[in-house]
Structure 1
Amino acid sequence: MNTSTSYSQQSNNLPTFDLTNMSLILAPNAPALYNTDGTLNWENGTFSNPLAALEETYENKTQTLILNTNLSYLLTDNLFFKLNAGLTTNLFEERKITPHTINNPAFGLTSERSSSSKSDQNTNAYIVEPQLQYKKTLNNHRFDALIGSTYQTTENNSGSMRGVGFSSNALIRNIGAANQKYIGETRTSQYKYLAFFTRLNYSFDNKYFLNITARRDGSSRFAENNRFGNFGAIGGAWIFSDESFIQNLSWLSFGKLRSSYGVTGSDNIGDYAYLDTYSVSPALYNSETGLYPVQLHNANYKWEKTTKFEAALELGFFKDRVNTSIAYYNNRSTDQLVGMTLPSTTGFSTLLINSPAVVENTGWEFTLNTNNITSANWTWKTNFNITFPKNKLVAYPGLEEGTQSSFYVIGQPLNIIKTYEYKGLNPDTGMFEFTDFNSDGKFNALDKKLVKNLNPSFYGGIQNSISYKNFTLDFLFYFKKQDNYNINKLYVTPGAPIYNQPVQMTDRWSPTNPNAPYMRGVYNNAKVDNLATLFRDSDNSISDASYIRLKNASISYTLKIPKVNIESLRIYLQGQNLWTITSFKGMDPEFSSFGYLPPLRTYSFGMQLIF
Structure 2
Amino acid sequence: MKKIKSPCKLRPKFSSGLLLQILAMVLFFGFSKANASNITWQGAKVTLHLESIQVNKLLDVLEDSTDYRFIYKVSDVDLDRKVSVNVQDEPIEKVLKSIFKGTYTVFRIVENKVYLTKSDEAEVGNESKALATTISGKVRDTENNPLPGASVLQKGTTNGVIADANGNYSLTVPVDSFTVRVSFVGYTTVERTITASSSKLDFVLKEESLGLEDVVVIGYGTNSKEKMTGAVSSVDATAIEQYTSTNVDQAIVGRVAGVDILTNARNPGDGNTITIRGAGSITRETNPLVVVDGFPLAEGSSLNIINTNDIERVDVLKDAASTAIYGSRAANGLIMITTKKGKKRGPTINFSSVFGLQERSGSYDLLNAYDAAKFFADGRNNAYLKNHPDADINDTEAERLAKGANVRELLLDYTLPYLNGEQGLTDFDWEDAVYRTGNIQNHYLNISGANDGTDYSVSLGYSDEEGIVITADQKRYTLNLKTNTDISDQVRFGVNVNGMYAERGLTNGSNNYRFPIDPAGRAMVYMFPFFSAYDAENGAAHGYSVEEQILANRPYNANMQENPVAMAELSKYKREEFNTFGNAYVEFEPINNLKLKSSLGYLYNNKFTDQFAPMLTGSYRRLISERDTRQGSESRNDRLDVLWENTLDYKFDVKEHSFNVLLGQSYQSSAYKSLSVTGADFPNDIIQNIDGSTIQTADASRSKWVQISYFSRLLYNFKNTYFLTGSIRTDGSSRFGEDNRFGTFGSFSAGWVFTNESFFPQNDILTFGKLRYSWGTTGNNQIGNYAQYASIGTGRDYPFNGALHPGASPSSAPSPGLTWETNTSHNFGVDFSIYDVLDVEVNHYIANISNLLLDRPVPTHTGFSSSLQNVGEMENKGWEFILNTAGLKVGELEIGLNANLSTNQNEIISLGGAEELYEGGSQRFITQVGGSLANLYGYKIIGLLKSQEEVDEYLSRKSTTLSAEVGDYIFQDTDGNDVINADDRVSLGDYNAEVSYGFGLDLAYKGFDFNMTFNGTLGRVAFDEMTSRYLEYGEAFSNTNYHYFNNYWDPVTNPDGFLAAPDAYGNTETRQASRNPTNYNVLDADYFRIRGLQVGYTFPFSLLDRVGLKQARIYFSVNNLHTWTDYRGMNPDGGDNGNPLNRGHIHGTTSVPRIYSTGINLTF
Q: TM bucket by the smaller chain?
A: 0.7 to 0.9
2:832 maps to 315
Match of 1:152 among 652, 661, 668: 668
Match in the other structure for 2:823? 306
Alpha-carbon shift at residue 93 of structure 1 (Å): 0.7
Contact 2:1011 2:1093 in 1 (8 A): yes
Alignment partners' CA distance in 1, 2:630 and 2:709: 51
Cα deviation for residue 82 of structure 1 reads 1.6
Distance 1:49 1:524 in 2: 23
Instruction: Specify the alignment match of 1:67 in structure 2.
Output: 582
- Kindly indicate whether the alpha-carbon contact (under 8 Å) linking 1:267 and 1:303 is maintained by their aligned counterparts in 2: yes
Contact kept, 8 Å, 1:235 with 1:258, in 2: the verdict is yes
Query: Cα gap change, 1:568/1:305 in structure 2, threshold over 3 Å: closer, same or farther?
Result: farther
Q: Is the 8 A contact 2:877 2:905 kept in 1?
A: yes
Equivalents in 2 of 1:297, 1:383: separation in Å?
51
AA of the residue aligned to 1:462: F
Helix, strand or coil at the partner of 1:24: helix
| Among candidates 1061, 1070, 1080, match of residue 520 of structure 1 | 1061
Contact 2:502 2:576 in 1 (8 A): yes
- Change in Cα spacing, 1:395 to 1:101, as seen in structure 2 (3 Å) is closer
Report the alpha carbon displacement of residue 24 of structure 1 after superposing the two structures with TM. 2.2
Q: Who is 2:1126 aligned against?
A: 583
Is the alpha carbon distance of 1:418 and 1:373 closer, same or farther for their aligned partners in structure 2, counting shifts above 3 Å? same
Distance 2:530 2:683 in 1: 38
Which residue pairs with 2:1149 in the alignment?
596
What is the one-letter code of the residue matched to 2:816? A
- 1:87 is displaced (CA, Å) by 1.2
Hey, what's the Cα distance between the residues in 2 that align with 1:532 and 1:184? 38
Deviation at 1:202, TM superposition (A): 1.4
Distance 1:293 1:565, change over 3 A: farther
1:217 to 731, 746, 751: 731
Q: Which has the higher strand share?
A: 1
In structure 2, relative to structure 1, the CA distance for the partners of 1:66 and 1:459 (3 Å cut) is same
1:545 paired residue number: 1085
Match of 1:503 in 2: 1042
SS of residue paired to 2:886: strand
Shift in Å at residue 367 of structure 1?
Answer: 0.5
Question: Which amino acid is the alignment partner of residue 501 of structure 1?
Answer: T
Is 1:4 aligned to residue 488 of structure 2?
no
Structure 1 residue 368: deviation in Å?
0.6
Moved more, 338-347 or 370-379: 338-347
Which range moves more in the overlay, 202-211 or 469-478?
Answer: 469-478
Change (3 A) 1:402 1:176: closer
Q: The residue matched to 1:300 in structure 2 has which SS?
A: coil
In structure 2, the partner of 1:385 is 900
Is the 2:616–2:629 Cα contact (8 Å) retained in structure 1?
no
> C-alpha offsets along residues 203-246 of structure 1, whole Å, 9 cap, x if unaligned?
11111011111111111111111111111111000111112233
Partner of residue 852, structure 2: 336
Q: Residue 113 of structure 1: SS of its match in structure 2? A: coil
Which of 343, 353, 367 is matched with 2:882 structurally? 367
Asked if the contact 2:853/2:872 (under 8 Å) is kept, the reply is no
- Paired residues for 1:346-365 under 5 Å: 351-354=867-870, 356-365=871-880
Tell me the SS of whatever aligns to 2:751.
Answer: strand
How far residue 305 of structure 1 moved from its aligned partner, in angstroms, is 0.4
Question: CA–CA distance in 2 between the matches of 1:126 and 1:260?
Answer: 32
CA contact (8 A) 1:5 1:68 kept: yes
- Distance (whole Å) between structure 1 residues aligned to residue 833 and residue 1080 of structure 2: 47
User: RMSD in angstroms over aligned alpha carbons?
Assistant: 3.5
The structural deviation recorded for 1:562 is 7.2
Deviations 1:130-164 (A, max 9, x none): 01122221111111111111111111121122232
Alpha-carbon separation, structure 2, partners of 1:232 and 1:494: 53
Matched, 1:19 2:538: no
Percent identical among aligned pairs is: 25
Paired residues of 2:1036 and 2:1063 also in contact (CA < 8 A): no
Letter in 2 for 1:474: N
C-alpha separation between the residues in 2 aligned to 1:402 and 1:103?
35
Quick one: distance in 2 between partners of 1:556 and 1:341? 62
Checking the alignment, whether the CA contact within 8 Å between 2:822 and 2:851 is kept in structure 1 is yes
Tell me if the contact between 1:420 and 1:448 (Cα under 8 Å) persists in the aligned partners.
yes
SS at match of 2:904: strand
The whole-number CA distance in structure 2 between the counterparts of 1:45 and 1:570 is 56
Which residue in 2 is equivalent to 1:264?
778
Q: What is the deviation of 1:357?
A: 2.5
Alpha carbons of 1:403 and 1:143: their partners in 2 closer, same or farther (altered >3 Å)? same
2:942 matched residue in structure 1:
423
- 1:566 offset after TM fit, Å? 6.7
Give the aligned partner of residue 985 of structure 2.
448
- Aligned ranges 1:187-266 → 2 under 5 Å: 187-266=701-780
Amino acid in the other structure paired with 2:1051: P
Corresponding residue for 1:457?
994
Structure 2 alignment gaps of length 5 or more: 1-492, 551-559, 951-966, 1135-1143
Task: Find the partner of 1:482 among 1011, 1015, 1019.
Answer: 1019
Instruction: Give the number of aligned pairs.
Output: 605
**1:526-561, CA deviations, whole angstroms, 9 ceiling, x for partnerless residues?**
54x424524743323335332111223445566787
Q: Secondary structure at the match of 2:525?
A: helix
Alpha-carbon contact 1:367-1:386 (below 8 Å) kept: yes
Aligned equivalents of 2:626 and 2:1080: distance in 1?
47
- Partners of 1:440 and 1:491 lie apart in 2 by 32
User: 1:377 and 1:349, CA in 2 relative to 1: closer, same or farther beyond 3 A?
Assistant: farther
> 1:366-388, CA deviations, whole angstroms, 9 ceiling, x for partnerless residues?
01101364489643311100001
Q: Is the 8 A contact 1:545 1:589 kept in 2?
A: yes
Q: Show the counterpart of 1:163.
A: 679
Moved more, 291-300 or 87-96: 291-300
Asked if the contact 1:33–1:49 (Cα under 8 Å) also holds between the matched residues in 2, the reply is: no
> What is the CA deviation profile of residues 30-62 of structure 1, one whole-angstrom value per residue up to 9, with x for unaligned ones?
566532311235426836542332222211011
Taking the aligned partners of 1:580 and 1:342, their CA distance within structure 2 comes to: 49
Residues 230-239 or 467-476, more deviating = 467-476
Check the 8 A contact 1:546/1:584 in 2, yes or no: yes
Between the aligned partners of 2:766 and 2:890, the Cα distance in structure 1 is: 22
Task: For 2:548 and 2:1067, locate their aligned partners in 1 and report how far apart those are by CA, in whole Å.
Answer: 35
Q: In the superposition, relative to structure 1, how do residues 553 and 72 fare at CA in structure 2: closer, same or farther (>3 Å)?
A: farther
Segment of structure 1 superposing worse, 490-499 or 577-586? 490-499
More helix by share: 2
Q: Spell out the pairing of 1:41-190 with structure 2 (5 A cutoff).
A: 41=542, 42-43=546-547, 46=550, 48-51=561-564, 52-54=566-568, 55-102=570-617, 113-172=629-688, 174-185=689-700, 187-190=701-704
In the TM superposition, what is the alpha-carbon distance from 1:568 to its structure 2 partner?
5.6
Distance 1:395-1:336 versus aligned 2 partners, 3 A rule:
closer
SS of the equivalent of 2:638 reads strand
Change (3 A) 1:536 1:167: closer
User: In structure 1, what is the Cα distance between the partners aligned to 2:915 and 2:747?
Assistant: 35
Give the conservation status (yes or no) of the 8 Å contact 1:361–1:391. Answer: yes
- Normalising by structure 1, what TM-score? 0.88
User: In the aligned structure 1, how far is the partner of 2:599 from the partner of 2:1162?
Assistant: 28
1:455 is matched by which residue type in structure 2? N
Please give the TM-score of this superposition, normalised by the length of structure 2: 0.48
How far off its partner does 1:287 sit?
Answer: 10
- 1:395 alignment counterpart: 910
Decide which moves more: 594-603 or 256-265. Answer: 594-603
* Cα offset, 1:166, TM superposition: 2.9
SS of the residue 1:540 aligns to: coil
SS of the equivalent of 2:524 reads helix
